Structure 1
Amino acid sequence: MSRIVIIEDEERIASFVSKGLAAAGFTTAHARTGAEGFELAMAQDCDLVILDLGLPDTDGYSVLERLRGSGSHVPVIILTARTSVEDTVASLESGADDYLGKPFRFEELLARVRLRLRGKVHATEGSSLAHEGIVLDPLTRTVTVDAREVELSAREFALLAELIAHPGHVLSREQLLSRVWGYDFDPGSNVVDVYVRYLRRKLGHDRIQTVRGAGYRLAKRR
């Protein structure tokens, strides 16, 4: 049974989400502050985090950055009243897996929870992926390049996994936004290009090829 940590200071919303998730077969833990939520999210049995941005002790961005900075790859869904494009993009670029504005329908939140947990199960059960000296292991969340281990953020790891799962294929920015960031539309950000640059710095600038007007693909060695 998956355990979900809800970091939300509004008791009414937290209770509503917790009861709904319990009815759907999940176990939950509730934190009212960012500090408490961080500790719960770092626990071994945490499978997903639902995070509000407006917390009494700190900003939700800080909690997210601490999680990713500590090496946690736990899926994080932002649930907040801040619904501007800027907040949405900032959350995704900081390492969130999904973003849902308040007010919200519980059915939509539940669908997003199930989607993120299903992706986590697939990654855990999957075998290693390899391409031209790059080896990605979803089970241990490690990446090596020519036998040299490279540390990636959760979003960088997900982007590389998508590229390496389609060797030789050109993936458009729209496809990558949908599959890696969960967006079926372009939020008006160059987030894909930014993360491709991050990967190039860590893997080697010649590892990812830009196909002008089409998208990106992993390059073949000559």
Structure 2
Amino acid sequence: MRLLLVEDNIALADELLPLFKGHGYAVDWRVDGRDALLAAHDDPYDLVILDLGLPGLDGLQVLQRWRAEGLTLPVLILTARDAWAERLEGLRAGADDYLSKPFHPDELLLRVQAVLRRSHGAVNSPRLEVGGLALDEDRQSIWRGDQEYELTRGEFRLLRCFMLHPGKLLSRMQLNEHLYDGESERDSNVLEVHINRLRRKLGHQVIETRRGQGYRFQG
């Protein structure tokens, strides 16, 4: 899944970027609120982590503009502002969740997982479950009944994307846009390799190929 981190604290961003990437997320980073305002329209992000105290344009104004423009992508506000009035103001503006600084990295990861699952209609549980499969995002492995299958980083990222879009036909372009950030190489051959490996582990019927259209996860 692809995240947009909007944070002007460079030290914090330097901490969060490897944290997210280590848990299988592609991440783009913006510092200025004006850049963030445009970036959310330029790429298909799955979630935005938005600081409020930004240069250029305040984070709350950015969120209000997004919602006024009809942009519905999930937003998690991350800020040092701890007043209840400001929390309520952010939620009224359309935020999906709110986390105050300082925070524990594990809590942020869990909140990101929860918001992503809710935004895709999935049950908020310790595992992402579709059909007879359960994805353990902490261990980056997949369970079928009592059997656990280890996943490579690429397999995990791809399978999580499929499981958040069960039954939906996804083109190669859509998958690449959700799996890779602006600095990552997007190679359709690598995508095919990951799909074939997942089929060998979970069964060929799990991922359907629609020739000339894309792929559909059936669970």
Measured against the shorter chain, the TM-score band is 0.5 to 0.7
Report what 1:174 is aligned to.
Answer: none
Report what 2:98 is aligned to.
Answer: 99
Report what 1:5 is aligned to.
Answer: 4
Conserved? CA contact 1:40–1:46, under 8 Å: no
Task: Map residues 162-177 of structure 1 onto 2, 5 A cutoff.
Answer: none
- Matches of 2:43 and 2:55 in 1, distance apart? 25
Task: Count residues in correspondence.
Answer: 123
- Please report how far the alpha carbon of residue 121 of structure 1 lies from its aligned counterpart in structure 2 after TM superposition: 2.0
Q: Does 2:2 correspond to 1:20?
A: no
Q: TM-score, normalised by structure 2?
A: 0.54
- Matches of 2:84 and 2:117 in 1, distance apart? 27
Q: Does 2:44 correspond to 1:42?
A: no
Report what 1:57 is aligned to.
Answer: 56
Gaps (5+ residues) in structure 2? 123-164, 166-219
- Matches of 2:42 and 2:24 in 1, distance apart? 20
- Matches of 1:72 and 1:44 in 2, distance apart? 12
- Please report how far the alpha carbon of residue 19 of structure 1 lies from its aligned counterpart in structure 2 after TM superposition: 1.1
- Please report how far the alpha carbon of residue 38 of structure 1 lies from its aligned counterpart in structure 2 after TM superposition: 1.4
Task: Map residues 151-170 of structure 1 onto 2, 5 A cutoff.
Answer: none
Report what 1:219 is aligned to.
Answer: none
Matching residue's letter, 1:96 = A
- Matches of 2:117 and 2:42 in 1, distance apart? 20
Q: Secondary structure at the match of 1:42?
A: helix
- Please report how far the alpha carbon of residue 120 of structure 1 lies from its aligned counterpart in structure 2 after TM superposition: 1.9
Runs of 4+ with >4 A deviation: none
- Matches of 1:92 and 1:119 in 2, distance apart? 16
Gaps (5+ residues) in structure 1? 124-138, 140-222
Q: TM-score, normalised by structure 1?
A: 0.53
- Matches of 1:43 and 1:6 in 2, distance apart? 14
Conserved? CA contact 1:21–1:28, under 8 Å: yes
Larger relative contact order (CA 8 Å, sep ≥ 6): 2
Matching residue's letter, 1:76 = V
- Matches of 1:118 and 1:10 in 2, distance apart? 28
Conserved? CA contact 1:7–1:32, under 8 Å: yes
